[in-house]
Structure 1
Amino acid sequence: MSVAPITLVCLSLATLFVAALPVWLYRRLRAPYALDWRDTIAGVAVFAFFATVIERALNDYVLHQNAAFAQVLANPAFFVLYGALAAGLCEEIGRYIAMRIIARRVAQKSGALADGPALGYGIGHGGAEAWFVGVLVQLQWIVFAVLANRGDLEAHLSNLTLDSVLRVHLILASLSPFFAGVFALERTAAFVFQIALSVLMWRGVRAGWKGIVPLAIVVHALIDVPAAVYQARLAPLAAVDGFYVVAAVVVAVVLYRTCRNERRVARAA
């Protein structure tokens, strides 16, 4: 089999866009919001540890090692509930810990705390998700597509089982320009949500509100519900992605306006 050149080009462009988005936004906001690279690195570290290590370990235990939990989660409703809460619980606890540390450091430098640390952290957290979940995965499929077009794919998959090889071929057969567009939209929406969640957590931590962690977990879970519904095959991909695109546009507009107003207040102070 082979992947159409137009599909390969579209997938490459979409992957490049997702990879460049966090870098571009950091450079764009660095001066206006006095972003600190340490906040961004903290976001990357929190996602890498809490999402790719702790959350995956939790999922492996619940879904594969605990028969009782696995049986309960065979029910689509419970699967959706678990899938939405697991990511929110792990990531928001990590985000809260990081924000507390950042708030202490920033408070020692200045009394007026604008949203710069939250934006810097959110770019790191969301950017890490964009790279780990999106860019690196798509680069793998681009390489597989190139190998397939050259007729070298089977040789590179010789160490895999027959089921794994068939899965690779099925995914390659499903690639299309539409798939590339959906990928770019999904990752961009997720990036926007991660920045918004970071600003939400930052403002809660800054205000000393103890309820910010439960609220952030619930909000994060609600964001993940449509994706979990799709994974449980309870809704079509087009409906889920349509919801995410509309929600991301609304969140981006609100985020822009609130952060801009907060920066003005901080400057006046």
Structure 2
Amino acid sequence: MAVESVTEAAMNWGTVSGASMVGMVISLLLSVGLPIFLGVFIYKKTRAWVPAFFIGCGIFVGFAMILEQICHAIMLTVTGSVIRDNLWLYAIYGGLAAALFEECGRWIAMKFFLKKHLTRENALMYGAGHGGIEAFLILGMSSMSNLLTAAMINGGLMEKTMTALEPAQQEVTYHQLSVLWTTPAYQFYLAPVERISAIALQIALSILVYSAVKTGRKLQLAAAFGLHFAVDFLTVVCASTIPTWALELGLLLVVTVICVAVYKLVYLSLAEKKV
């Protein structure tokens, strides 16, 4: 009884603000709506091959969500805290792993799955699928979970449900859930900005890899790998040193520069050469 009293006294359940929940709803809608919008928009504008969108979805799931996660499980278990507790090593490893698996997957998609449909329009469609499913799985699923949990917290149901847990489990779960009402509301609106940047980057990288496969220029494949690594590496490093809003705006600026460069130097040149 004494332990339970102390635990209950330490758990001051807050309320998830309406502003925060609106941010979660926007994140959920964007993670579902933006990929669909892009797929439809690209199709209407270019008559791209629709299956390319779903190939992009499948490659991301297979290479990033399955193979890469297996790699993480092995590497982080073998190395213990050596990588996990060192910011620079973790950023380098994370960036290299993401770039390796996703760019290899992208290359395989262009080389084999899109072999008979290898056009720049289909590369756009592929990129929309690759980045779109990433947005849904990372932002959409978490936003859905956060919304349901926030509703349970505000309705008092979560507090009642927690009584079935052991005191130690209650405390751990409480601290995990407290993020929903202690996080400033504006941060829930930054997640969609981050996903917009990520989708745009995935499309740009898809154009680079497409060009590398189509023209045989391996330097462009290396550029895709390098850019992917650099963005992920800087994101991890900067996340612990600068405010979230500054990180997301900085990321948006960097990705914008990358997209403009790829569009002018690669996409337009491919059109001129009718590649």
Q: TM-score range by the shorter chain?
A: 0.7 to 0.9
Distance 1:79 1:71 in 2: 9
Distance 1:217 1:102 in 2: 20
Question: CA distance change for structure 1 residues 150 and 124 in 2, over 3 Å: closer, same or farther?
Answer: same
Q: Identify the residue that residue 16 of structure 1 maps to in structure 2.
A: 29
Q: Identify the residue that residue 117 of structure 1 maps to in structure 2.
A: 122
Does the residue aligned with 1:177 lie in a helix, a strand or coil? coil
Distance 2:121 2:84 in 1: 40
124, 131, 136: which one aligns with 1:131: 136
Distance 1:7 1:174 in 2: 10
Q: Identify the residue that residue 248 of structure 1 maps to in structure 2.
A: 255
Q: Aligned pairs, how many? A: 258
In the alignment, structure 1 segments of 5+ residues that lack a partner are 108-112
Task: Report the Cα offset of residue 86 of structure 1.
Answer: 1.0
| TM-score of the aligned structures, taking structure 2 as reference length | 0.84
Distance 1:80 1:28 in 2: 35
212, 215, 233: which one aligns with 1:207: 215
Distance 1:89 1:165 in 2: 35
Task: Report the Cα offset of residue 118 of structure 1.
Answer: 0.7
Distance 1:69 1:123 in 2: 36
- Contact 2:24 / 2:146 at 8 angstroms: preserved in 1? no
Distance 2:121 2:271 in 1: 8
The amino acid across from 2:92 in the alignment is L
Task: Report the Cα offset of residue 241 of structure 1.
Answer: 1.5
| TM-score of the aligned structures, taking structure 1 as reference length | 0.86
Question: CA distance change for structure 1 residues 196 and 162 in 2, over 3 Å: closer, same or farther?
Answer: same
Question: CA distance change for structure 1 residues 45 and 167 in 2, over 3 Å: closer, same or farther?
Answer: farther
34, 37, 53: which one aligns with 2:50: 37
Answering whether residue 252 of structure 2 is matched by residue 239 of structure 1, we say no
The amino acid across from 2:252 in the alignment is V
Which has the higher Rg, Structure 1 or Structure 2? 2
Task: Report the Cα offset of residue 102 of structure 1.
Answer: 3.8
Distance 1:172 1:69 in 2: 30
Question: CA distance change for structure 1 residues 147 and 99 in 2, over 3 Å: closer, same or farther?
Answer: same
> Structure 1 vs Structure 2: percent identity of aligned residues?
24
The amino acid across from 2:140 in the alignment is V
In the alignment, structure 2 segments of 5+ residues that lack a partner are 1-13
Deviations 1:33-55 (A, max 9, x none): 22212111111011111111111
Question: CA distance change for structure 1 residues 174 and 35 in 2, over 3 Å: closer, same or farther?
Answer: farther
The amino acid across from 2:56 in the alignment is G
Does the residue aligned with 2:85 lie in a helix, a strand or coil? coil
Q: Identify the residue that residue 101 of structure 1 maps to in structure 2.
A: 112
Q: Identify the residue that residue 58 of structure 1 maps to in structure 2.
A: 71
Answering whether residue 237 of structure 2 is matched by residue 229 of structure 1, we say yes
131-140 vs 4-13, greater mean Cα deviation: 4-13
Question: CA distance change for structure 1 residues 30 and 89 in 2, over 3 Å: closer, same or farther?
Answer: same
Does the residue aligned with 2:46 lie in a helix, a strand or coil? coil
- Contact 1:26 / 1:123 at 8 angstroms: preserved in 2? yes
